Structure 1
């Protein structure tokens, strides 16, 4: 079982979660779940004997095999070196050595073979006798439990199993290909992998379950050039047979471009598994999307703002928007077809339910499904992947089209203009490209910008001009130079949608509450009813981007109907997304604390709660799912669910109740005293002043980042050479200095951390503007306020107002308006004030002790 810091391994116990241990545990999991070896035949860290002595390395340390799989339970229990099936050598990611160690393990035991893996790549070896000499030969696969190395290992089609982790399997393909000298560009590799997967799936589709697959390479074929050529020819033939059935999708002479040896390497990784999509299978895979994610260069994706939408998000969004069989579903930023294929599967499931196989009713319903899913994508390559994904899911590929959804409607593909024109989609579901506020990712084409209200500046009242096809240049004077594409897509989705239709769109989280977006929120709320808002976990799009995101669900009123002014909005905060920041899956635990095969996620729960809310108008609210009233939105039109969190608002309610208590009142921090000053320093560039690793700091000025200032000891110090400073930089430095007694609060990243400006901090250091300064002249009030701001109560209140798309932020105005209970007399809270003063004294003493240690500690002895 995985945790953040440890692993629970075979036999119980806890190990530190090192890179090597992660690789080992992943492979143990694979041996158990995919190769079906019993747990009681597997051991880790097994000593290897050489004769009567333990093997040792060149430094004299005992040698231990990472994983040993024994022939039986008793052999494992007794560590019988004469009954070892195979040995596994594990290395951390990127490490390539270890083959020599594996050889020594195998030839000093009865092992018939072995495995080398670093998590990304895996190589299988088989022990063979060549002219009386024992050698290791690479082999395409590992025998499953119950099979011998000499047995015929080719399973029948019906015996192939679905892989548990498609992404890791394709990562192995990637490393096999490049490990064999693969020189194709990433884009070519992506398409070749699509073609190879199609050949594999076609073989599974046309070959009966009781027959052996054609997409297979035996150990003997794997070893010879002629054998590899035979297998490669077979696989190419399978692709050609498949492609010939879809001449509008595949070019006439389209072929798998990689060489025979490279093709066989991919086949050897894929051949053990089943990838076919079954019509009645509820599995929500998007195989082509997974291929795109794994085989498209990360830099290219980032440059184009193309990020693979988490499949759990896709499924939850489709479940929540609930398309009917005949609904026209459109994704105007379709990518590799994730939403299109998921919507098709959802509609197909509805078509199959309640109908008999082969009945006219089922066929009619399935026909409606195939002809009512549409996609527009600007990249031709991605359109081909999306078309292929739809073919694998059950056809419907004619709706996958190439074009720019932000262009004039008349310039779109003819299939879209005739079958899904403006005003006809019942449902639009999409994850448009984000700019991330990067200029190069913004839309800067004036011919596109002029088509949109959001392509123009709002008037002084915050209203955007109405755009009509009759006079697109009427508002030329207000045309913006650039605009974020996600905002243009939001406007286009609302415009394209049929009256009475519904939208589900992924957007940057900042659009929910940033003040800079208030005009866009007002425009959206004036045209649509907000059905639901879900904020997504920060790992949702990791490891590709750390942008915080949300999903907004909207309904467009019927023609002539006004947008309602009062209604209930479903709110949710996803806190578990089934993967970590590196994109690795995180599995849920059972009652005993053991990892299960289910991903640890809450999006399924959120979708279920919304379905209940949608169907009956109410549901059991929780910290994850709750509601807010449209009529209660504040002046900022804040749509962030966190702002309406029951937990955080319960804290606010508890604070406000002090207003009803005798001798108490509730005010804001800014109104406690007219002499209170709450501010942050100026934003500025210090790059020209920084001195890297100075040997002498005598004439330099120390600078602390927010984290450096929050440390009890000054371990993280930057140094400025003020002799380089301009007059403007000198003024910025002056404004960044704090005074003794200032309360400092982190305002970016992890917000709400509090520290106190000691004499040394104030006299010696320049402090980052990422800390809000709170200056309170009155000492008792300052101590009380410090105690308040360091409380969990204050933290919850600050979280109510945090905002941001990448990092979370607070502004001085949020601290100014923070409600705080105030007694009529400070005597009522003398204990709290005393505790606050004690904290200030301790921090002063700690600061003095740190300075003394810095000046007179061990380093002074060395010097």
Structure 2
């Protein structure tokens, strides 16, 4: 009889313990793997144990225990012989690091087990444990552990230990190129058009992996079965979810369901179709079916997808790829934190969003790890002298603490994700990051799809990436929303006054509107959507330029300039921006008014000039700078207004008499009216005075609103004009800037710091927050 996972609220049944335990992330993964060992590999519960103390092994400062230990037989376990497999489990969305492999391998060494497994369910790796090498040498990764029936077969064990695993990342990257070539060869499409079709199929595969309960699965066998039913005119009753529509083949039906799945992201046009032959489609399905993109590790599929992108998008599409060294530097400088909302309104292939996601994810994982170590350290202080019963109780309490700190497993089903977002409740901090903190848009539909898929490959399939003009609002992308914006906007293009907001720019889906109003607040969301107002009577909307101060005032229509204002508008007060800009924006005389406007809205916190050859491989020849701004806080904005008002009053009083005299002469009529030449001179004199007043006012304000602006220039930024790796002086700038930023408190970082201590007087564990708030933990 199959073993089933038994979950009861916050408890999970552990058959190897014979009782319910707190359902922590690790515990759930452990029990799932035990179920797999029984149902898939045929092991009996009687030949396994969990949390086995390993003599001599240390986990941090406490006594170590292996999560799961498996013996060759029940008799071997009873007679305390060496086990065959040691398993180490991690929470589902905690990335398994190299130190985890070494730690688990050491457990296996102490137990003299030939197989070591580490798993977080998403990623499972199996190693052979080589006792003949030093403990710091990681053993080779192999394909699988033995089934129970082969556990005592030395020949089969030896064969398994010799089956080392090929480097999966390169294998997956090559497979993507093979799929791409199938389309190019069979369907004679351009590289870019072929990529579009690969993208559609990858989205189909993701869609089916997200809905595993459906009968239809993404395999060639299933496709051919449903295709045969279609040819025989066999139609399921429920057309929408269980079978093809009457008028389209099954290949197209799969894509229709996929378009429904990603409708909110507006990644596909409603009339978009699959544009390859059925034979090509089937060949690609056959190649992809061996991979489960939902469980393949993020480092494997993410890097593989990036390799595929780099080898596919060249020439005209190079503009969408910001060099990795620049991306890393901008993210490191801005140092995004947990719970901060992040956006790139010109996201291209998603490089900034992926780096920011991974950066914050790593912070969360490291914080979780540190907190767990503190908990374990505090409990280890009393566990040494506690009875076995007390130790079990202590373990339960420590798990409960971790549970309450928010280290629960991720939500997996999309329906639960939707419900969690709407109720603003999340099972884990990582789910919150993935579901509500990452947003992006791109006006190019191909790149919007690429960014979305790129993020899925890197572990975040929930980010709010949309096909949209980055200057326009959508979903959660609207004014005063973001803590951090990172972007590389298009250079040199112009937005003309004739570009109007259209009806197509408006959201008309009532369900989505209701959902967004619930998520962001009805008043806030309705105000954000006023940007897209459309005059039904005149059948036209306002010019896109009129949505921005710079556009309305006719100061500039350059995209790079417009996007600076757009990004500042998107930021919350005190929010920070890192943007790649052509140096002309910083020093061209005709953009002086533009710079003055930005000075009145935000602080410049760093300018770094980079060499011209950084973007040459992408086809750009303009020398660029990396500009970092911090939007005024409300206090700073009020201060700027106050200084401006005071300066204006002071300067006006200085020139008012002279201006009044000029104005009185210009208003004379009849015989007293000055001739045209004198009027021209008077107007020129008035303009000169007004310009001088403006300079004086600005000088006074800037003297009062004074702050340092760090400026740096690097000769080498990690990449040459041909794309080759060079020295990276940006790292040196970062080493100097980070201490400067922290010491000058450019933005606040408030983090609760917990300590866990044993109070010998009360006999209780206490959790101390920020060294001033003590909570006694009862047991």
Q: Normalized against structure 1, the TM-score is what?
A: 0.38
Between Structure 1 and Structure 2, the one with more helix by share is: 2
Report 1 or 2 for greater relative contact order, CA contacts < 8 Å, sequence distance ≥ 6.
2
Q: TM-score, normalised by structure 2?
A: 0.42
